Amino acid sequence: MNHEFYIKRCLELAQLGIGNVSPNPMVGCVIVVNDKIIGEGYHRKYGEAHAEPNAVKNVFDRYGNDAESLLQQATAYVNLEPCAHFGKTPPCADLFVKHKLKKVVIGNRDPFSGVDGKGIEKLKNAGIEVESGILDDECKYFNRRFFTRIQKQRPFIILKWAETANGYFATTDGHQKWISGALAKRLAHQWRTEEDAILIGKQTAIMDNPQLTSREWPGKNPVRLVIDKNLQVPQGNHIFNTEAKTIIFNEVKTDVIGNIHYIQMEDMHFYLAQKIAFQLYLMDIQSVIIEGGANILNQFLDGNLWDEARVFTASNSWESGLRSPIINGHLQEHIQVGSDKFSIYINHTN
């Protein structure tokens, strides 16, 4: 059997759950007998069945009375170690033990302390052969949001902005002036469906009056996060509509009014990026896109609190404006998106 082939198939399946399973990891499962796939499944939605029971169910749906004997001959592939604890659902390792699978092949061990080797131990104690570490790096990168939250106690942080060909980021008078093209905007809306939250500062909320929704791409809206120390954003602005949950970080009050959540923080002029990152961790927000403005982006850059930066560079230039943030990271990808150049930078130093 080609273990890497089946683990890659697990990742393909797991990808179907993006944006819907947080704060859980994205997981796919493939069940194989004699080099033939007899069942597949993935974790579709947080709180619902994990990948493994969905794959086992798929075997029973397809093979009926023969399913039990087939499972006893089967190898199950899963990109992350089967859970060993009771959470929203029963332990997946117990399911494999119940059906007496022959072997389980795993991409990553689960870094969560409630699992971390315990699933593998359960399987081995039941006489099931276990092999792990298949495409380990690829699987970790795939679930980088989950690994970051568990290992660093903060969300996976994506910085995003557009800049002109000569490096300008915004107008000097603060008024909105669009930089990137229509395709870049649509791609940005796709990203919003994939991440838990999106964050802006007060000035962006006032001057641009953004909606921060995913209206140009099918999928969920992210949680909208706004830094507004003294609650100066007008109540009539789009962020106060009912299209998505909105969290306002401020120094005035803690309150919940409909879908608007006010969270009071002390001394927001000190270590703001660090405070927000930890607060989001406590709220089980696993990933966040930070769209700025420049002050907010630079605070996360200065604090080395970022994992990925997604930058659109337009073909046009401005005579003047505010300079875009300076990014020091590993250039992972550089492609053309319509009339814009798109670059992804990875932070290897945090």
Q: Residues 124-135: pLDDT tens digits?
A: 999 999 999 999
- Annotation-wise, does 204 bind a ligand? yes
Query: One-letter amino acid identity for 336?
Result: Q
Q: Is 50 labeled as ligand-binding? A: yes
Q: Which of 12, 40, 48, 52 is catalytic?
A: 52
Q: Assess whether pLDDT exceeds 70 at residue 88.
A: no
Residue 207's contacts (CB-CB under 8 Å, 6 or more residues apart) are: 174, 175, 176
The count of other CB atoms within 10 Å of the CB of residue 270 is 8
Mean pLDDT, the chain, rounded, equals 94
Query: What's the rounded mean pLDDT across residues 164-179?
Result: 84
pLDDT of residue 227 exceeding 80, the answer is yes
Chain segment 315-340, per-residue pLDDT in tens: 999 988 889 999 989 999 999 999 99
Average pLDDT over residues 293-309: 94
Percent of the chain with pLDDT over 90: 85
Active site residue 52: yes
Question: Residue 186 annotated as binding?
Answer: no
Annotated binding residue at 162?
A: yes
Residue 222: name the closest of 22, 7, 3 by CA. Answer: 22
Q: How confident is the model at residue 114 (pLDDT cuts 50, 70, 90)?
A: low
DSSP letter string over 237-254? SGGGSSSS-EEEEESS--
pLDDT at 335: 94
Residue the block writes with tokens 């003047």: 320
pLDDT at position 53: 96
Q: Is 208 annotated as a binding residue?
A: yes
Residue 16's CB is within 10 A of a number of other CB atoms, namely: 13
Question: In this structure, what token pair is assigned to residue 330?
Answer: 């590993």
Identify the three-state secondary structure at position 297.
helix
Query: Would you give the end-to-end CA distance of the chain in angstroms?
Result: 38
What does the alpha-carbon distance between residue 119 and residue 115 come to, in Å, rounded to a whole number?
6
Structure tokens at 12: 């393909």
Residue 187, pLDDT above cutoff 80: yes
pLDDT of residue 325: 93
**Segment 18-47, tens digit of pLDDT:** 999 999 999 999 999 999 999 999 999 999
Mean pLDDT on 117-126: 93
Write out pLDDT tens, residues 249-280.
Answer: 999 999 999 999 999 999 999 999 999 999 99
Listed range (79-93, 145-159, 216-230, 286-300) with the worst mean pLDDT: 79-93
The pLDDT of 182-191, averaged and rounded, is 94
Structural domains in the chain?
3-148 (3.40.140.10), 154-346 (3.40.430.10)
Span 161-187, mean pLDDT?
Answer: 87
Q: pLDDT band at 175, cuts 50/70/90? A: confident
Q: What's the one-letter identity of residue 218? A: P
Q: Tell me if 67 is assigned to a ligand binding site.
A: no
Q: How confident is the model at residue 162 (pLDDT cuts 50, 70, 90)?
A: very high
